[in-house]
Amino acid sequence: MLKLEKMTTEAADAAIASLAGWSRQDEKWIAGSYRFAGFPAAIAFVARIAEIAEAMNHHPFIAIDYKKVTLRLTTWHAGGLTELDMQSAERYNEAYRTSIAGNR
């Protein structure tokens, strides 16, 4: 069971350090960006993110800039970052690794 309690700054920093491509935006947000070969691949990735977010019942903010997708996470009910944000980011990284491997 994931804790939905706000993480301490130290715990959040340690968790973020293990997430490739993710960084803290401020005390309440983390963000990660992904690049793709083209717009269709970026949109397919966003569709996969939507599936993961629905299954986890935790939804990121999504920005699509042609071949770049940026995801931002926070847990509103906790007032900041939680283990759920970190697990979501790891799941999104795995989806990216899988999508890139499938495009080679």
Q: Is the pTM of the predicted complex or chain greater than 0.75?
A: yes
Average pLDDT score over residue span 15-23: 96
How many CB atoms lie under 10 A from the CB of residue 82? 24
Q: Show the DSSP H helices in 1-104 as ranges.
A: 9-17, 39-56, 83-102
| pLDDT confidence bin for 2, thresholds 50/70/90 | low
In DSSP terms, 72 is beta-bridged to 31, 61
| Cα–Cα distance measured from residue 6 to residue 77, given in angstroms and rounded to the nearest whole number | 9
pLDDT in tens, 38-91: 999 999 999 999 999 999 999 999 999 999 999 999 999 999 999 999 999 999
What is residue 103's predicted lDDT score, i.e. its pLDDT? 58
Task: Answer whether residue 104 shows pLDDT above 60.
Answer: no
Q: What is the structure's pLDDT at 11?
A: 96
CB 69 within 8 A of CB 37: no
What's the CA gap between 73 and 98, in Å, rounded? 21
pLDDT of residue 73: 98
Please report the pLDDT score of residue 75 as a whole number: 97
Cα pseudo-dihedral 40, 43, 48, 54, rounded to 10: -160
